[in-house]
Structure 1
Amino acid sequence: MASRTIPLRVPLDESGVPHPASAVAPPPRRPAADTASAPLQAATPLRDQGADMSLGTTITIEGDELREVFARLSPHLPPYLRKIGPRPYNGLSFEFAPFTGRENKPTTPQSFYDDPKLRFASQSDDPTEHLVRTAARTIMGDLIEAARGEWRDAAHVADLKAVVGNAPDRWRTYERELKALEAAYSYLRTPEAAKEWPSALSRLVDAQDRTSEAAVAFDERAEEIARVHDQHLYADLGHAAALARAGCPDAGDWHIVSADQYSNTWFSDWNTSVPLQERTRRLVAQQDAHVAKVGRLSGFPG
């Protein structure tokens, strides 16, 4: 997830989340003559830049100003925040208590918007207040954005846990039946098969039926999983990673296509992103066509 950061001239201390007790007196106001040299540098645009903040800039915060920013933010920090720390080069990182995915989506608290010390201040009217308040808005915005990213992933995983069910068992059943089908089909190419051709074909048909049934069973779970993936389209976790967190570490091997494919009753030949049932049907059709051709050419009934 892309994030916006504020480069710091001085690192944060190791106390983690700021508390109201750490508040210090507001820094002295700078004379108007100093505002032209306010420490701005080219970087990523801020989330909320204010009327006087030019595009393509990011704030550099000094020690006293940074402490004042957190003194004002402290009453509004969410309860799931565990720690704020500096990034290796600049900006801030956030550590949260684990989300279950069943909480409400993280949002900026209304108290933050209602706080008169955090409302917009024009740079021309008060450069120091403009700097502090803009930094506070940016930090809160980045914090909530980071929290939403983790919450979205947790919600994705929670919804997958609710639908996965016995999908791992059904996939293993499909793999086992497919392996048996491949063995039955390969056997037809051996000289021994010619001695028992009808029986060998019968075993092939049985294997085809079992594989098709296993494919249908897995598709029932796969469709539910695919719909959850669609619902969490903007989560950062990939499908396999989300399923792994949901208790299915081998799900990267599963054949799951987009949810809309499972309701289709017809597939064009060029469409390769098809449900497992359709993929198996195509395999069986290829095998049947081959057996029929062998029968025509060899005189064996096929």
Structure 2
Amino acid sequence: MHTIPLRMPLDDTGLPHRQEPSAPAPAAPVNASRYNHPHFLGTSPGEREGWIVYTFAPFTGTEPTPTFPTTAYDDTSLTWELRDSLHDQYTAARIAWSHARLRRQAKALLHKAASLWTAWTTARDELIAVFEEFWSTSDGHWRAQLLRLTDAERAVNKAAGDWDTVAAKLAKVAADQIDVAGYDEKLPLTTVAQELGYDASDWMIHPVDDYAHPLPQYRIVRNGVDYYGRATPLTASATQLVEAQRERLREVANLAGAADPADRALD
């Protein structure tokens, strides 16, 4: 008798025993960590249901802009859920990076701005004080008081111009941060200033376009004629203040007949 090896065992009827097909082995989970941003540390649940907090090593702001790796688009092993998660990770990375870059770029500017804003408020207050002295200045001393006023005007205009120069730079770095992260993830300059020990709540920093393309921002009425000027924001405010004071003095000069050359010099 010969025996023939069978691929399947015989049952008690002498017929081959069919094996049920085995279930496929579970696929190994796809590891997408190779696409993580180098600063990525991990995730944790957010305060609201369904939110995820992405944690990164500190950014300096000098790194390249975090950009979703293009190779991940061609990786067929990645599910759409994994790609979405990676997109969210890189979105969070760009936000963190943009905040770090703004803090780095704004630091020196804010230190300078603090002293320039003080110079502006000092010059503005001095101009107002000099103007108010006309109420107690005798007619014979108006020329000297006008000289003090013009000196104060020059000081206030210079302080406003100096401020607008640094404010334009601050407006630019703030706009750049929003361009990267979106308006909802805006880091206010007042927050960065507070971190440096400054209260910037009343600093005049307009949108960047107001510095790049100044619009008509002040109106001067002189001898019955309207004049419109273009200026950056604080310079426009300084001009309005100066012109309001001069218009008041012209009214007084006209009422007095403008007999004094010092009065006519206002025109």
Could you tell me the TM-score, scaled by structure 2's length? 0.68
1:87 paired residue among 25, 46, 69: 46
* Aligned with 1:147 (options 84, 88, 93): 93
Deviations 1:216-264 (A, max 9, x none): 2222222222333343342432442465278473333222233443456
Aligned to 1:193: 137
CA 91–72 in structure 1, closer or farther in 2 if over 3 Å, else same? farther
Structure 2 portions without partners, runs of 5+: 1-23, 220-228
- Larger Cα-atom Rg: 2
Distance 1:230 1:85, change over 3 A: closer
**Counterpart check, 1:261 vs 2:221:** no
Name the residue aligned to 1:74.
33
> Aligned residue for 1:18?
none
Q: Deviations over 1:20-75 (max 9, x none)?
A: xxxxxx9958xxxxxxxxxxxxxxxxxxxxxxxxxxxxxxxxxxxxxx86x62334
Give the whole-Å Cα distance in 2 for the aligned partners of 1:164 and 1:198. 40
- Aligned identity (percent) is 27
- 1:293 shift after superposition: 0.8
Asked if 1:106 corresponds to 2:66, the answer is yes
Shift of 1:177: 0.8
Question: Are the structure 2 counterparts of residues 182 and 27 from structure 1 closer, same or farther at C-alpha, using a change threshold of 3 Å?
Answer: farther
Matched ranges for 1:287-298 at <5 A? 287-298=245-256
Residue by residue over 1:121-176, the C-alpha shift from the partner in whole angstroms, topping out at 9 and shown as x without a partner, is xxxxxxxxxxxx23222221111111111212222333334655622212111111
Give the direction of change, closer, same or farther, for the CA distance of 1:169–1:212 in structure 2 (3 Å limit).
same
Q: Alignment partner of 1:249: what SS?
A: coil
| In structure 1, C-alpha distance between the alignment counterparts of 2:51 and 2:206, rounded to whole Å | 39
Segments of 4+ in structure 1 off by > 6 A? 270-273
Query: Is 1:167 equivalent to 2:113 in the alignment?
Result: yes
Distance 1:272 1:98, change over 3 A: farther
Q: Which runs of 5+ in 1 are unaligned?
A: 1-25, 30-67, 119-132
CA distance in structure 2 between the partners assigned to 1:216 and 1:157 by the alignment:
24
2:66 and 2:97 in contact (8 A); partners too: yes
TM-score normalized with structure 1 length: 0.61
For CA contacts below 8 A with separation 6 or more, give which structure has more relative contact order.
Answer: 1
8 Å Cα contact 2:157/2:239 also seen in 1: yes
> Quick one: distance in 1 between partners of 2:156 and 2:126?
9
2:152 is the alignment partner of 1:207 = yes
CA distance in 1 between partners of 2:121 and 2:41 (Å): 44
Distance in 1 between residues matched to 2:205 and 2:231, nearest whole Å: 9
Aligned mates of 1:27, 1:75 — CA distance in 2 = 25
RMSD of the alignment, in Å? 3.3
3-state SS, counterpart of residue 95 of structure 1: strand
Task: Check if 1:282 corresponds to 2:240.
Answer: yes
1:157, 1:245 within 8 Å by CA — same for their partners in 2?
A: no
Given that 1:181 and 1:207 are in contact with CA atoms closer than 8 Å, whether structure 2 keeps it comes out as yes
Partner of 2:130: 184
Distance 1:147 1:265 in 2: 35
Matched with 2:161 is: 216
| Rounded Cα–Cα distance in structure 1 between residues aligned with 2:190 and 2:255 | 50
